[in-house]
Amino acid sequence: MGGLYRSASLADCQDTADAAWDAGVRYFDTAPYYGYTRSERRVGAILDGRRAFVLSTKAGRLMVPDAAVGADEDGWVSPLPFRPVYDYSYDGILRSFDASQQRLGLIHIDILYVHDIGRLTHGDRHEHHWSQLTDSGGFKALGALRQGGQVGAVGLGVNEWQAVADAMQAFDLDVTMLAGRYTLLDQTSLPVLDACKRHGNAVVAAGVFNSGILAGTGKFNYRDAPAEIVQRVTSLQACCDAHGVPLPAAALQFPLAHPAVVSCVVGARSASQFRTNAGWLEQDIPAAFWRDLKARGLLDASAPTADEQS
Amino acid sequence: MRIDSHQHFWRLADRAGQWPPPGLAAIHRDFAPEDLLPALRAGGVAGTVVVQSLPDLAETQALLALADRHPFILGVVGWADLKAPDAAGAVASLALHPKLRALRPMLQDIEDVRWIDDSALDPAAAAMREHRLCLDALVRPEHLPGLLAFAHRHGDIPIVVDHAAKPDIAAGACDGWRRDMAALARHPNVRVKLSGLLTEAGAGAGAATLRPYIQRLVEWFGFDRMLWGSDWPVLLLAGSYDAWLSMCLDLIPEAAHDAVFAANARSFYRLDEPVPR
């Protein structure tokens, strides 16, 4: 709903949400950053009047009015005129939450994730932002929201597992959204997932198509896919073909086999795309497929797979 | 000056083979006041609350006798059979001792995890209320729902949860603990002891392991309802008195030190009141 790479009309968004709701989907995720606040507004409108859903949003970027915001920023097409400014401090988190409440039209938000904290996003500014979370009270703000009942659960929403490992040493996380790091192409986060399980930090798997390449587009980690990734995907596809399994179905179902993973979130820009996703989720995948993936060296041998569960 | 809200003394000869077993070598010996005094001095701890460790009236009486002889023992947490027919009388009798401040049924050792949620406790609870005795809850996470029911029923008996209800830090199982501790913390009369967590975390655990747990406890109870305790000598299974005290002093912000390391124990156990009510 934020308009990543292509814009989606409000009508399409309504249709997609209706299709998802009718199919039984009840967990919705957004962030102030998506579409530079457009996504939260749309999600708020769509959920208005509905009940018994779970909603997550994120904090860590304040969206500051800026008339200079152009037609294509950070991959967002036609974003709203608010520019993101990183602020993980106590005040920053609370102000972001306040603004989210207003945009979503909700005073209680089920899950609040600290958005994109970590070296991958911040490079050499990482220490500064990390210290905002720890010393300047960002985690304290999350705790206050949780304790005060405005938020049901808190955690991180990130693309890197290291930040999750570090955060678990500073704060009691309820739930974490980990994007792109537990997928058919990338199981480097396995040790952290085990730690999450032990600490009661529920994991929501996101970016399971690694920005699209596992669903048939050319994108990997928000960029055009490099040659070696394309090669790996070709090998994965070959294994899929041998067992009659659609690659996106395997990509969608794989993370759910890990005991730490409680949910999988997938974007969709149309009702038909949603229904395609749902079909992949329900696809029967033979046990032999997962065994073959491991035998071909295409999957970490210690990654839990559906064939191992009773 | 600091107060240690939770420590034990024992003599093996008096325990007739009961806990601790020989396998826990570090604590399978006698522990007397002279064994603790050096650590207290080094840590700036001026007084302690001694806590029972056997479901046995004789042990409580021995601890009360120790408290008579040693001024640093500011209060005693004793034991009585709270469901016995004469429980109210037994409680009243114990309460005659000027340093008895609380009772501790050893819930973690009782097979029925809901033992504490029972109207049969009403006479004992009434006696505790009359003599202004607190309840020390020696519990694991599975006992918390029962304790919550007791807290509902007897809202004016001050309760402290020993060792933060012993979350299984080493294994990391958390959800029931979180849910039930959050619920307990909503009772203004429930406090938590910052004690025993190193023992739950296991050998080699450091501040990083405990920080998220302590952070959560502070979130639920605030610094005003947290009491520091050593759980010495059981602590020796996991680390030294000094190491545990230093770790806690680091993990708790300085502005809260007086509360957590002294004032909260003093007010919860009414340690400044020299004579019985």
Per-residue DSSP letters for chain A?
---BSS---HHHHHHHHHHHHHTT--EEE--TTGGGGHHHHHHHHHHTT--S-EEEEEESEEEEE-TT--SEETTEES--SEEEEE--SHHHHHHHHHHHHHHHT-S-EEEEEEES-SHHHHGGGHHHHHHHHHTTSHHHHHHHHHHHTSEEEEEEEES-HHHHHHHTTTS--SEEEEESSSBTTB-TTHHHHHHHHHHT-EEEEE-TTGGGGGGTSSEETTEEPPHHHHHHHHHHHHHHHHHT--HHHHHHHGGGGSTTEEEE----SSHHHHHHHHHHHH----HHHHHHHHHTT-S-TTS--GGG--
Could you tell me whether strands A223-224 and A219-220 are parallel, antiparallel, or unpaired per DSSP bridges? antiparallel
If we measure between CA atoms, which residue out of A180, A172, A221 comes closest to residue A201?
A172
Q: Do B219 and A146 touch (CB under 8 A)?
A: yes
Q: Provide the mean pLDDT of chain A.
A: 93
Over range B241-251, report the average pLDDT.
Answer: 95
Which has more pLDDT, A136 or A139? A139
Integer Cα distance of A5 and A89 in angstroms: 30
- All residues of chain A having their beta carbon less than 8 Å from the beta carbon of residue B215 are 139, 143, 170-172
Other beta carbons within 10 angstroms of residue B111's beta carbon come to 5
CA distances from B92 to A295, B10, B28, B255 (A): 73, 25, 33, 39
Q: Give contacts of A135 with chain B, Cβ < 8 Å.
A: none
Q: Is the pLDDT of residue A175 over 90?
A: yes
Q: Residue B177 and residue B180: Cα distance in Å, rounded?
A: 5
From the CB of residue B88, how many other CB atoms can be counted at a distance below 10 Å?
19
- Whole-angstrom distance, CA of residue A33 vs CA of residue A10: 18
**pLDDT band at residue B274 using 50, 70 and 90 as cut-offs:** low
| Res. A75 pLDDT band, cuts 50 70 90 | confident
Interface pTM, i.e. ipTM: 0.73
Å from B168 to nearest chain A CA? 10
- As given in the structure block, the two tokens for residue B203 are 């050998």
The pLDDT of B69-82, averaged and rounded, is 97
The DSSP 8-state label assigned to residue B158 in this structure reads -
Tell me the one-letter amino acid at B69: R
Is the peptide bond between B20 and the residue preceding it cis, with omega within 30 degrees of 0? yes
Residue with tokens 């065994």: A291
pLDDT in tens, B98-107: 999 999 999 9
How many angstroms separate the CA atoms of B159 and B102, rounded? 9
Burial of A107 (0-12, 13-18, 19+ CB in 10 A): exposed
Quick check: B74 and B271 in contact, CB under 8 A?
yes
State the catalytic residues of A: 29, 34, 58
N-term to C-term CA, chain B? 25
**Contact present, A34 and A2 (Cβ < 8 Å):** yes
How far apart are the C-alpha atoms of B40 and B139, rounded to whole Å? Answer: 27
Residue A203's beta-bridge partner residues? Answer: A176, A261
pLDDT digits (tens, 9 = 90+) for B122-163: 999 999 999 999 999 999 999 999 999 999 999 999 999 999
pLDDT of residue B275: 58
What integer pLDDT is reported at residue A225 of this predicted model?
A: 87
**Amino acid making up residue A291:** R
Looking at residue A64, what is its pLDDT? Answer: 96
Q: Is A228 exposed, middle or buried (0-12, 13-18, 19+ CB in 10 A)?
A: exposed
The rounded percent of chain A whose pLDDT value lies above 70 is: 99
Compare B204 and B165 and report the one with higher pLDDT: B165
pLDDT, tens only, B206-217: 888 899 999 999
Residue with token string 């809200």:
B5
Q: How far is CA A112 from CA A96, A152, A271, A303, B218, in A?
A: 10, 8, 26, 28, 20
Q: pLDDT tens, A280-292?
A: 999 999 999 999 9
Q: Quickly state the pLDDT bin for A309 (edges 50, 70, 90).
A: low
Residue B232: DSSP 8-state = B
Contact by Cβ (8 Å): A286, A33: no
- Cα separation, B91 vs A105, whole angstroms: 56
User: pTM of the prediction?
Assistant: 0.84
State the Cα–Cα distance between residues B87 and B93, nearest whole angstrom.
10
DSSP one-letter code for B259: I
- Partner-chain contact B212 A147, CB within 8 Å: no
Stretch B29-45: mean pLDDT: 97
CA dist A298 and A184 (Å) reads 8
Which of B173, B209, B219 faces A147 most closely, judged by CB atoms?
B219
Q: By CA distance, what is B221's nearest residue in A?
A: A147
Average of per-residue pLDDT across A25-44: 94
pLDDT digits (tens, 9 = 90+) for B252-266: 999 999 999 999 999
8 Å CB contact of B171 and A198: yes
Q: Whole-angstrom Cα distance, residue A84 to residue A60?
A: 9
Q: Between A and B, how many CB-CB pairs are < 8 A?
A: 40
Q: How far apart are CA A227 and CA A301, in angstroms?
A: 24
| Helix or strand run (H / E) with residue B5 | strand B2-7
Residue A293 bridge partners (DSSP):
none
pLDDT for residue A7 is more than 80: no
Q: Find the CB nearest A172 among B173, B208, B215.
A: B215
* Contact call for A169 and B174, based on CB within 8 A: no
Q: Which residues of B touch A143 (CB under 8 A)?
A: 215-216, 218-219
